[in-house]
């Protein structure tokens, strides 16, 4: 197999996804097939080719550093699943 179940589990961890046994099996098979297909890229000789990062060549877009519109705090928090005293609430991080 192109990608093992252990690798799927490791990558899922990096991507912050919880996977049960059934999902790992299914994904390992499907992603394995896709990666096998992607391996056709090996046939292309691109040794000296500069990798493309964007479709249109653009240099950095700078602007003046001036105060502009901003979203007020209450509005910014309006979609938060949990908030308190003008802050986002997350589960305890430091034990």
Partner 1 sequence: MKLHELTIHEARKLLDKKEITSKELTQGIFDRINDVEEKVGAFITVSQELAMEQAEKADKEIVAGNVTALTGIPLGIKDLICTKGIRTTCASKILEAFVPQYDATVMKKLNAAGAITAGKLNMDEFAMGSSNENSSFKPVHNPWNLDYIPGGSSGGSAASVAADMCPASLGSDTGGSIRQPASHCGVVGIKPTYGRVSRYGLVAFASSLDQIGPLTKDVTDSAIMMNAISGHDAKDSTSVPRDVPDYTKALENAGLKGIKIGIPKEYKSKEGLDPAVSETVGNAVKTIENLGAETVEISLPHTDYAVAAYYVIAPAEASSNLARFDGVKYGFRDKTQSDLLKMYKNTRSKGFGPEVQRRIILGTYALSAGYYDAYYRKASQVRSLIMSDFRNAFESCDVILSPVAPTPAFKIGEKSDDPLTMYLSDIFTLSANLAGIPGMSLPCGFSPDGLPIGLQIMGNHFDEGTMLKVAYNFEQATDFHMKRATL
The footprint of partner 1 (CB under 8 A) covers 3, 7-8, 11-12, 14-19, 23, 27, 30-31, 33-35, 37-44, 46, 49-56, 58, 60-61, 63, 71, 75-76, 78-82, 88, 90-93
Q: Rounded distance, CA 73 to CA 28, Å?
A: 43
Q: Rounded distance, CA 8 to CA 39, Å?
A: 18
In the 8-state DSSP scheme, what is residue 32? H
CB 29 within 8 A of CB 6: no
Min. distance of Cβ 1 from partner 1 in angstroms? Answer: 13
Min. distance of Cβ 38 from partner 1 in angstroms? Answer: 5
**Residue showing tokens 């252990």:** 6
Min. distance of Cβ 67 from partner 1 in angstroms? Answer: 14
């Amino acid at each position: 197999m192109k990608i093992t179940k252990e690798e799927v589990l490791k990558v899922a961890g990096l991507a912050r996804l919880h996977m049960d046994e059934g999902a790992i099996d299914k994904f390992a098979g499907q992603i394995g097939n896709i990666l096998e297909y992607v391996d056709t890229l090996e046939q292309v000789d691109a040794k000296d080719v500069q990798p493309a990062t964007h479709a249109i060549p653009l240099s950095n877009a700078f602007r003046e550093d001036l105060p502009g519109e901003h979203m007020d705090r209450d509005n910014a928090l309006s979609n938060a699943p949990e908030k308190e005293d003008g802050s986002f609430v997350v589960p305890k991080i430091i034990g």
